[in-house]
Structures are given as C-alpha cells and as structure tokens.
Structure 1
Amino acid sequence: MDDAQMEARLDLLRLEHRDLDTAIAALAATGVPDQLQTARLKKRKLRLRDEIAMIEDELIPDIIA
C-alpha cells in the first residue's frame, strides 16, 4: 500500500471513528441504553483507534538522532 492509499484509508478510519462516537452518544441518550450494543460499538472504536495508530506510525518516518 503506497502513502496515498494509506492516507485515504486513514481518512476513512477517522470518519468511521467519529461516526461511532455519534452512535455511542445517541445510544446513551435513549431512555434505556442497550449495554451490549454500546460495548460492541466501543470495542469497534478501540480497534479503529489501534488501526489508525498503526497506519500513522507507518506514515511517519523514524528519525534516528
């Protein structure tokens, strides 16, 4: 995967991460939030965060001092 593809993937992951924030907030705002669904969304959000961090690490070159 070249840098442009990685940047595009990173943008999509960040968008999905923000969408999950919105979904979790909306689910919490309901009268009786679904704990199982909330846990699944949060778990997905954590996986996205890890993937985002991995791609960012690949895009930023290591600098040896």
Structure 2
Amino acid sequence: MNKSAKMEEIEVLRVELEVLKHEHRDLDEAIAALEERGGTDMLRLRRLKKQKLQLKDRIARIEDRIFPDIIA
C-alpha cells in the first residue's frame, strides 16, 4: 500500500471514528435521560447499554488502527 492510500485510509478511519463517538455520546444521553425518568423499561435500557458498549469496542479498534502501539 502506498503512502497516499495509507493516508486516505487513515482519514476515512478518522471520519468513522468521529461518527461513532457522536453516536456513543447520543446513546449516553439517551441512557441518562431514561434513568433519570425512572420507571424505565429495563430491557430497553439494557439494550441501549449493550449497544453503547459495542460502539466503545469499535471506537477502540479504530483508534488502535490509527494510533498503533509502537514498541521502541
């Protein structure tokens, strides 16, 4: 893979990362609102939390691809 293609891939990953972070924040706000309201459907709350955790995992994988650990 040439340098230009690698840079392009990194830019695509950065955009995807920002989208996922935005979705993660939105889920966080939705979960907080449901918890604040009380008497919430626990199944729905659990599903939202699971979805948020999956997003967090995807974010971590993309960050690892953008910023790999380099052992000197």
TM-score in terms of structure 1 length: 0.92
Aligned residue runs from structure 1 range 6-21, under 5 A: 6-21=13-28
The CA deviation string for residues 17-60 of structure 1, in whole angstroms up to 9 with x for no partner, is 00001000111122311100000000000000000000000001
Which 4+ residue blocks in structure 1 deviate beyond 2 angstroms?
none
Q: Which has the larger radius of gyration?
A: 2
SS at 1:2 equivalent:
helix
- CA-based RMSD of the aligned residues comes to 1.3
Aligned residues: 65
Q: Unaligned stretches of 5+ in structure 1?
A: none
Give the AA of the match of 1:60. Answer: F
Query: What percentage of aligned pairs have identical amino acids?
Result: 52
Q: Select which of 4, 10, 13 maps to 2:11.
A: 4
SS at 2:12 equivalent:
helix
